[in-house]
Structure 1
């Protein structure tokens, strides 16, 4: 009986600690999100504006390729509506970019180099692990072939992402994001 009470008490304590840890860890941003954002040293390939806390160019946060890659690259394999078969993408997650600039909002508006504009829910970044792809099938994407960045959803992992209305969220030749 004593062993049972000790076990139950230890279990309660562990559960309370995990609740506190979950509550505090979700509110904590990565350490680098609190640091000032340096100025780009190379050509700017992405500018983020709107409701952001960290900037390096007036009211916006500008990133060159090196700055984006320093956030950490991830991989994604998925089909697209514009290519044949499964494609391999590599880039930084939108979530990491939003965290780095301290973004808060409900909507992300993406603008491409050709002035194509699309908006999607802010929550898509975390819910779907949206990727800002810089590489496709091992090759860095040039502007003439959807680069320098392409918003890519893991459409094969979520049935709803295969619906035609989600295709409009895939902005290629991405140049800016506005958070509202």
Structure 2
């Protein structure tokens, strides 16, 4: 294959993958870091981050969080009246976006509340970083802008103090250890 036909072969391959050119390949692969946030940073992931975009950490603005696949569920919590609908990306997807690997995710809130969540919880439960409550963005007063929440009503095991304690509202940072 000549260099010119080799290039044409790869461009055809990229086009077959839905990629316009070899230059877009990096943005579609698992090893590419998330783009740097354009807006105000609302979440930083530190520690064992494989795809940093701000020094050694991965920072996200709300648009970046909203651009990830969104999941919704309705559940009751000890902090709300009645069942409420939460929407946001799965924690495992956010961690994957940052290339995070570890055994524990320490969730840290705006008021410095800290709780350790087993990394495995993100893999085995539909644990989300809720950004919407009943379809509306959450203010700090409403436990936002991000709330790490389990789908408590989906499994009797989750309706326990253990999982309630692992929830963190007004989430600001995740440390992966």
TM-score of Structure 1 vs Structure 2, range by shorter chain: 0.7 to 0.9
CA distance in 1: counterparts of 2:129 and 2:35, whole angstroms: 20
Quote the residue 1:178 is aligned against.
175
1:94 corresponds, among 78, 91, 100, to: 91
State the shift of 1:38 in Å. Answer: 1.3
Moved over 3 A (4+): none
Inter-partner Cα distance in structure 2 for 1:33 and 1:153: 26
- 2:125 matched to which residue of 1? 128
SS at match of 1:45: strand
Match of 1:169 among 163, 166, 170: 166
Aligned residues: 151
1:78 counterpart (64, 75, 79): 75
- State the partner residue of 2:32: 35
Larger Rg: 1
Distance 2:52 2:113 in 1: 24
- Structure 2 CA distance for aligned equivalents of residues 32 and 118 of structure 1: 32
Cα offset for 1:32? 4.8
Instruction: Give the Cα separation in 1 of the matches to 2:47 and 2:139.
Output: 27
Counterpart Cα distance in 2 of 1:147 and 1:159: 26
TM-score (norm. length: structure 1): 0.80
164 and 64 in structure 1: CA distance in 2 versus 1, 3 angstrom threshold: same
What is the TM-score normalised by the length of structure 2?
0.82
What's the RMSD between the two structures over aligned residues? 1.4
Post-superposition CA distance 1:43-64 (Å, at most 9, x none): 0010001111000111100000
- The answer to whether the 8 Å contact 1:33/1:101 transfers is no
Match of 1:24 in 2: none
1:139 maps to 2:160: no
Could you tell me how far apart the structure 1 residues matched to 2:163 and 2:148 are? Answer: 11
Aligned to 1:151: 148
C-alpha distance in 1 between matches for 2:147 and 2:171: 6
Listed as ranges, the gaps of 5+ residues in structure 1 are 1-30
